Structure 1
Amino acid sequence: MKLGSTMKNLKILRCCLLECLRNHHLVAIADALPWLEELDIQFSCYYWSPGRDSNSRSAKYMVTDAGIEALSRKLRGLRKIDITGQVGCSDRSLIA
């Protein structure tokens, strides 16, 4: 059974405060739930500590504008997205 195939009524998905969320996860969400209207992927910068590995801040380890653009292409019914604290997103995400 394909993820999302039995969840046709799911319109709102909250994935907030997930440290492991990346662009490829956004694509998987869009592919599995094409009818999604609201998505919450906010991430509190509070969880970033100075002692963390510097690689964890590189673009491949975070949600970026490219991930938001992929969402906007795939989720035509998306009305609202919360990207609060996603440090890899810029004003370019607003245009998408």
Structure 2
Amino acid sequence: MTMTYSGPARLTLVDGACITGMASLNTNQRGGLNGWGGTFRPDEVTDDLRNAGEGLQLELPYERVGEVTVTGIRRLLATQVLVSLAGRGPAPF
């Protein structure tokens, strides 16, 4: 069974900085509830986000939080990027 989430989210970096944006997440079909990931499109792109790696938290509405790792960053437009995320632990959706 695949579960999905698409909507507002907040990515918290290791230094505590928060970046708002939109997330599109799903569980891995073979991974169960602990195998999940997706993409995050930030409202603002910072150097800290470009250098982000492990130990980040993704917060969804209603204080649902999951630990994520940035697995890649791809430029969409001149001012927008799409961040690929891999989740750790239970899916927060």
Higher helix share: 1
TM-score w.r.t. the length of structure 2 is 0.26
Higher strand share: 2
TM-score w.r.t. the length of structure 1 is 0.25
Larger radius of gyration between Structure 1 and Structure 2: 1
**Greater RCO (CA < 8 Å, at least 6 residues apart):** 1
